[in-house]
Every structure is written in C-alpha cells, then in structure tokens.
C-alpha cells in the first residue's frame, strides 16, 4: 500500500511540475506539444530499460497496454491527462 501511495504522490508532483513550468514559460501549449512529441518518440522507439528506472524519465519509455488497473502502478500520469491539464491552464493565462 505504501508503494501505491508513493506512486500517487509521484503523479501529483508531475502535475505540479507541469503547472509550474507552464507558469514559468507562459506557454503551456508549447509544453503540451513537447510532451506529445516525447510520447510519440517513446512509442516509436521503446527502450530496453528496467521498469524500476521508468520513473526517471519525463515520459515513460516502456510500452504496453494501459489498462485501468495498471494505471495504479504508474509513476507518471498519462501524457494525455497532462496535455489536457496544460490546455486548461492555457485558458487562464
């Protein structure tokens, strides 16, 4: 249970970092675009790294199906969710 809580905190911190980056750059849509490009690259070129190291990357380099249950174990929120939140931030700046 502690590990799942730690992963949830990690996902929350990623959202906080995105919000801070959007405010700092004053261009949340550029940040969203960069995340989408990184995600596309990760999907085209999956890396052979240990799953324990996936949290060190901006976009999870591991591929596979993202079933709802597996999302509990993700250290990063899905890029789609991060982009959606950045788009919302863009409407407030």
Centroid of chain to Cα 18: 9
Task: Give the distance, in angstroms, between the CA of residue 40 and the centroid of all CA atoms in the same chain.
Answer: 13
Mean pLDDT by 10 residues, the chain (93 residues): 70 91 96 94 71 65 52 77 96 91
Q: What is the pLDDT of residue 12?
A: 86
Contact 4, 48 (CB under 8 A): no
What three-state secondary structure class fits 64? coil
Q: Where are the beta strands (DSSP E) in the chain?
A: none
- The pLDDT score that the predictor gives to residue 58 is 58
Q: What is the pTM of this model?
A: 0.67
86 contact partners, CB below 8 Å, separation of at least 6? 18, 22, 28, 29, 31, 32, 35
């Amino acid at each position: 249970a502690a590990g799942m809580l730690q992963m949830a905190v990690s996902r929350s911190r990623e959202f906080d970092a995105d919000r801070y980056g959007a405010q700092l750059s004053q261009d949340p849509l550029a940040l969203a675009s960069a995340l989408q490009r990184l995600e596309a690259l990760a999907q085209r070129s999956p890396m052979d790294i240990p799953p324990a190291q996936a949290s060190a990357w901006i976009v999870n380099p591991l591929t596979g199906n993202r079933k709802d249950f597996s999302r509990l174990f993700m250290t990063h929120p899905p890029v789609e969710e991060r982009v959606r939140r950045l788009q919302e931030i863009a409407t407030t700046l």
